[in-house]
Structures are given as C-alpha cells and as structure tokens.
Amino acid sequence: MSALYLAQDPTLADFGKDPWWLVLIKIVFAFVFALLATLLGVWFERRVVGYMQVRPGPNQVGPFGLLQTLADGLKMAFKEDILPRAADKVVYFFAPTISVICAVTALSVVPFGPMVSIFGHHTPLQVTDVPVAVLVLLACSSMGIYGIVLGGWASGSTYPLLGGLRSSAQMISYEVAMGLSIVAVFMTAGTMSTSGIVAAQAHGTRLNLGGWELAAPGWYAILLLPSFIIFFISTVGETNRAPFDLPEAESELVAGFMTEYSSLKFALFMLSEYVSMVTMSAVTTTLFLGGWRAPAPITTFWAGANSGWWPMLWFFGKVLILVFVFVWLRGTLPRLRYDQFMRFGWKVLLPINLVWILVLSGLRSIEGWQTRDRLLATAIGAGVLLLATLLWPSKKREPKPTLQEQANSRPHGSFPLPPMDLQVPPSPRTKRVVAEREPANIATGSDSREV
C-alpha cells in the first residue's frame, strides 16, 4: 500500500476538529442520502421485481417512472389520518418516528469516503467516529425494533400486537447471531472503529499463479466468509424483509404492526424499512466489503482510485449491489413459517457462528501466519464444511400412510371420521323434503336432484 493511500485513511484523531457548519453539512448529507435512497429504493424494487416477474414496473409518472414514489408519498400525505379509539395516543404517535430516527442515526458512524478537502478544510467523509462505533450501529439496530413493538402495542388491536411480539422475538434471535458475526471482525481488525475497520481491510495480498500476479483484496467477506454470510442473513431478519417479514405477514396478520396506521404515520414506517435496508447495506459494506475502497482489479491499473471523491462511487456501488440482493430475495423466496424462522436462528446460525469463532481463534493463535495463509485456511475450511454437508447421509423417510390406512388403524368405537371424499350426507330434513316432493316431480317429469 503506497503512502498516498495511507495518508487518505482517517483516524480517530481526525474527528472533532471540524467547524460547526461543516458538521451540519455532513449531517444534512446523511439525512438527504437516507431520504433519496428510500425514494429510489422503492422505485428500484418495483422495477427489478417487475423485470423478474415479466411485467411492467412503474413507467408512467416521470421518465422511467422515477417520480412514481414521490407521487405515492404525496398521496399518503393527503390521506385521512385515522386514530383508533383504543389506541394509546402518545405512544401511537411517536412509534413510527422512533424507527426512522434510529435508522438514520446509524448512518452517522458509516464512512462514505476518505479524507477530502471541503471549502479548504481537510476532513473525513464521515459524520463522526468513536472507538466503539460498531456498538453504536448495534444499538441503533436494536432500538429501531422498539418503534415496531410500541406501534403494535399502542394500536389497541390484536393483529398489530402479534406483529409487535414477533418483532421482539426476531430482535432477540437474530441480534445474537449478528453480534457474534461482528466479533470475528473485531478479532481480525483489532478495533471497533468503523474507519479503523475499513483501514484494516486495505492491506490485501498478492498471489502468484503460474507466473501471473493476482492482487487479492483483504475484504473480510473473503477472509471471514462464514461471518459475512451469517451477518447478511441476520440483517435481512433484522430489517423485517422477505422471507423474514413475519411482523407484517399479510397472509396471517392483515398487515401486522402497521394494520391500524394510515397517512403519514404509515409512510414513516415504510420509510424506516427502506432506510434500514440501505443502512444495513452500508454497514455490511463497511465491515466486510472494504468500505469505500475500490475493488482490487481497479487499483491494479489506477493508482488514484482510492483518493479524492472517487471512493464515494465505489461505496455507493457496493451498497446498490447489496440492495439488489435484498430485492432479489423478496422476489424469489417465499415467506417462512414462524417456527422455521426461529429454529433457523437458534439451531443453525448460532451454533455455526460459535464454532466458527472458535476456529478463527485457533487460527489467530498460530504465530507466523500471514493474510495469505488465513485466506487459504478459510477457503479450505469452507470447502470441507460444504463437502461434509453434501455428503452427509440423509435419513430415509418412511412412506406416509394414506387416509384410508389411517382410518382403518383407528381403534374400534372411536369417534367416526367424515367420508374420505368430503361428500357430506344430506340431513334428515333434506331427505324428508325430497321424499315429499318426489310424487310431484314424477307427475311433472322433473328431476329430484334439482332440489
């Protein structure tokens, strides 16, 4: 890594020195980024899902339908705001704002780029950074769930309450897996600062393959592949996105925690969902995809790819790819049952995460191992785990007995079963009416089945 690259990396000492107006500019930029990302995210999801389902997406309001989301927002603003009679008015009002504020606050510790010059001031493209910045991200993610829980409870209705309870269960289940995934990042980077984690991923490795020198990135998505996969699955569960959108399962809970909300309050809940999706994509980029740094193939032929304002392009490109994966999952996978969802979090993600942390601790305890050795060990371990999963003998299932076999196996004198063809016999009253009308039907030549 050249001296030019190292000079661009912000440190904790670079924060807290900006004038108030520059800090205000950064805060407004983060807020505007969240709003624009929501507007474009809704449009992007509609277009991508429409393409996947071979149907037109929004294409009438504005060029390529770009203004359709803005029109929907204006329509929501002028809809009637209905307040349920049994609602707790104060909590009912503040619940949507809690979710939005927590989702936007998480962007304050996300680095958008390196050190740049703004109006003559040398400053990092980040609102702020602290030694425990990743814990701030976890706190914002956890507090955002409280908006959903309180909104479901304050509505004074059954289905919103069930959606809020499901959301609290999701928070407890998948927050544990997410936190354990970040533990691997702490162990490897040696810091909890987001800018420090991005700087730690700058030191890649060069592999010689048959005379060809290949620059391999130091991204933790490669070095810590199991943690990256578990973390991203946990983010999908934390943001209540399909196939984990159980707090608002329309087929079971009408609309879940948002059932009793309308107008701008409903729009705020929708805003918080998409802001959380973009925020978690930005966090995943920061922790596992090198942050604002350009991919290795670009840096091999462009020395200035990680300097100036160009890194913002790489950062937004990575975030866009992760948002596409969110949309891809929603348009592809069906919703899980609630028991499957909880079982997957506690019995699959959590044990794998614990075993992986133990393996990683063992690898780090071996002295003299370089990044290349850890990369090779991680790849071999992931390959062995995948091979063992594929070759593991599956339990042979016995054929399920038919309905007639189940009926024959019932003990004598048990409660009678209905007919297997679901043809319910007519009631005695119907038989009597048919018998009374039978002579008249014979006289007129009509059919008794018309009764």
Query: To the nearest whole number, what is the mean pLDDT of the chain?
Result: 80
CA distance 363 to 367: 9
**Average pLDDT rounded to a whole number, residues 21-44:** 89
If one counts every other C-beta atom within 10 angstroms of the C-beta of residue 445, the result is 6
Q: What is the pLDDT of residue 173?
A: 83
Q: What's the rounded Cα separation, in Å, for the pair 360 and 383?
A: 15
Write the pLDDT tens digit of every residue in 150-204.
Answer: 888 888 888 888 888 888 888 788 888 888 899 989 888 888 899 889 988 886 5
Backbone angles phi, psi at 238, to 5 degrees: -70, -35
CA distances from 213 to 180, 201, 206, 207 (A): 35, 20, 6, 6
CA distances from 208 to 211, 378, 389 (A): 6, 18, 31
Pairwise CA distance, residues 239 & 412, whole Å: 53
The better pLDDT of the pair 209, 350 is held by 350
How much is the average pLDDT of 128-139?
89
Query: At residue 448, does pLDDT exceed 50?
Result: no
Backbone torsions φ then ψ of 242, nearest 5 degrees: -60, 140
pLDDT score recorded for residue 208: 47
pLDDT of residue 265: 85
pLDDT in tens, 266-286: 888 888 888 888 999 999 999
The pLDDT tens digits for 382-439 are 667 767 766 776 666 677 777 677 777 777 766 666 655 555 666 677 677 667 766 6
Higher-pLDDT residue of 249 and 80 is: 80
Cβ atoms within 10 Å of 191's Cβ, excluding its own: 18
pLDDT at 315: 94
What is the three-class DSSP state of 79? coil
Q: Residue 7: its pLDDT value, please?
A: 44
- Run of H or E residues at 205: strand 205-209
Return the structure tokens found at 232. 């991203």
Residue 319 or 17, more confident: 319
Q: Residue 361's beta-bridge partner residues? A: none
pLDDT band, residue 5 (cuts 50/70/90): very low
pLDDT mean over 91-115: 88
Taking residue 233's Cβ as centre, other Cβ atoms within 10 Å add up to 20
Task: For residue range 104-124, list pLDDT tens digits in order.
Answer: 898 999 999 888 888 888 888
Greatest pairwise CA separation for the chain in angstroms: 108
How high is the pLDDT of residue 444?
52
Residue 185 near residue 223, CB atoms below 8 Å: no
Length in residues, the chain: 451
The answer for residues whose C-beta is within 8 angstroms of residue 74's C-beta and 6 or more apart is none
Q: Residue 345 carries which DSSP code?
A: I
**Partners of 118 in the β-ladder:** 121
Q: Nearest CA to 335 among 271, 260, 240?
A: 240
User: According to DSSP H, which parts of 207-305 are helical?
Assistant: 220-223, 225-238, 250-253, 263-288, 296-301
pLDDT of residue 439: 62
pTM for this prediction: 0.78
Output the pLDDT for position 396: 67
Contact 104, 275 (CB under 8 A): yes
Residues near 164 by beta carbon (within 8 Å), at least 6 away in sequence:
148, 149, 150, 151, 152, 153, 247, 257
**Interval 37-63 mean pLDDT:** 88
Q: Is residue 427 helix, strand or coil?
A: coil
Read off the amino acid at residue 46: R
